[in-house]
Amino acid sequence: MKRREVLTGAAGALALGGCAAERQECASGEAVRQITWKMVTTWPPNFPGLGTGVLRLAKFIDDASNGRLKIKVYGAGELVPPFEVFGTVQRGAAEIGHGAAYYWKGKSEAAQFFTAVPFGMSAQEMNGWLYYGGGLELYRELYAGFGLVPFPAGNTGVQMGGWFNREINSLADLNGLKMRIPGWGGEVLRRAGGTPVGLPADEIFTALQTGTIDATEWIGPYNDVALGLHQAARYYYYPGWQEPGPVLECIVNQQAFDALPKDLQTIVEIACSAINDQMTAEFTARNAQSLEQLKADDKIEVRRFPDEVLRQLRALTDEVVAELVAADPVAARIHASFAAFRKTVGAWTEISEQAMLDVRAL
Ligand code: CA
């Protein structure tokens, strides 16, 4: 083990010196070109699952490229505020960013399809659509208009519906509620009489504790406990109708991406795909552990939204999406692909995952 570390260290030192003996570049006398990218993210530095996942992504790229492509990661607020990630990568002030497409609905309403549509698709189904159902092509086409290349790079799986200090027994209980909830979920809440608020992760706990907001959704047990949300609200509702399988994204400045040699482009793409799987696996494992902790806490009640509330939220969602599709031809094209895939995959899910889960509960 020691000997291996010594050897690795020696190889590392050589690479940093610009000449690893086994490299062809060195044999031909050329220096090894090292590229460093700045990466800005919407997540608090080192935040469990999200921030740490991004650090793992950066390490994959560094290791797989043998140090030729280094990614210096900045958490939210370290270089730019969280909601400036898109613009920062777009103008090239950072080459790469990590966040979620629905944060950029101010730039393009249609971007939200690539994170989550309420009552839409699970993580597995979203991956099916993106990688093998035409979704990724549409995603790339949309972002090309902003000079960005997007990659799916993480998925939290089904989220929780959120934290409330009042019981939600009917849709009327959402009336007057000020809640942190992004994307279309927020618009649906507005139509139910509530006030959606957009807040980045690091501001949610204080807002809920001080009563600036009445309720919040964030992700699931693992991350919600990390923010301390269980200390500021009593009722923890499920399911996360607003985000059934939200995709996290990596965005790369088009010019920076085009300037990479082909092998480094492929490394970036494969690293994003790897972290897409890894994050989902981590969320699955750690959400389960944190849920046990919450269930053992008698100050917390884990509750299911009543069916009638979910039915009405679903009807409002259909209304919101239909209005956008009627007004925006780009959104209409993406929606057509999304809706067709959901219908097809839904029939398969019903007799595969869903049937298996139903049977398991017998
Ligand atoms: Ca959420």
28 falls within a domain: yes
Same domain, 109 and 46: yes
Say how many C-beta atoms besides its own lie within 10 A of residue 1's C-beta: 5
Task: Say how many Å lie between the CA of residue 66 and the centre of ligand 1.
Answer: 35
Q: Looking at the domain assignment, is residue 86 inside a domain?
A: yes
Whether residue 88 lies inside any domain: the answer is: yes
3-state secondary structure the chain: CHHHHHHHHHHHHHHHCCCCCCCHHHHCCCCCCCEEEEEEECCCCCCCCCHHHHHHHHHHHHHHCCCCEEEEEECCCCCCCHHHHHHHHHCCCCCEEEECHHHHCCCCHHHHHHCCCCCCCCHHHHHHHHHHCCHHHHHHHHHHCCCEEEEEEEECCCCCCEEECCCCCCHHHHCCCEEECCHHHHHHHHHCCCEEECCCHHHHHHHHHHCCCCEECCCCHHHHHHHCHHHCCCEEEECCCCCCCCEEEEEEEHHHHHCCCHHHHHHHHHHHHHHHHHHHHHHHHHHHHHHHHHHCCCCCEEEECCHHHHHHHHHHHHHHHHHHHHHCHHHHHHHHHHHHHHHHHHHHHHHCHHHHHHHHCC
What's the gap in Å between 227 CA and the centre of ligand 1? 13
Residues 203 and 229 in one domain: yes
Tens-place pLDDT, residues 302-344: 999 999 999 999 999 999 999 999 999 999 999 999 999 999 9
- Ligand 1 centroid–CA 243 distance in Å is 6
One domain, residues 17 and 109: yes
- Ligand 1 centroid to residue 182 C-alpha, Å: 7
Cα 69 to middle of ligand 1, angstroms: 32
- Partners of 250 in beta bridges: 98, 151
Over residues 224-251, the mean pLDDT reads: 97
Cα(221) to centroid(ligand 1), Å:
11
234 and 117 fall within a common domain: no
Residue 101 placed within a domain: yes
Q: What is the pLDDT of residue 10?
A: 39
How many A from CA of 90 to the centre of ligand 1?
Answer: 24
> Which position has the token pair 């007799």?
351
- CA 70–ligand 1 middle distance (angstroms): 30
Cα(36) to ligand 1 centroid in Å equals 31
Note whether 88 and 221 are same-domain residues: no
pLDDT digits (tens, 9 = 90+) for 79-101: 999 999 999 999 999 999 999 99
Domain harbouring 76, CATH code: 3.40.190.170
Is 357 a member of any domain?
no
Residues spanned by the domain of 136: 2-155+245-285
Give residue 80 CA to ligand 1 midpoint distance, Å: 21
How many angstroms is it from 179 CA to the middle of ligand 1?
A: 12
Same domain, 28 and 174: no
Instruction: Please indicate, yes or no, whether the overall pTM of this predicted structure exceeds 0.85.
Output: yes
The percentage of the chain sitting over the pLDDT mark of 90, rounded to a whole number, equals 89
Residue 293 domain-assigned (yes or no): no
Q: How far is the CA of 37 from the centre of ligand 1 (A)?
A: 28
State the CATH number of the domain containing residue 190: 3.40.190.10
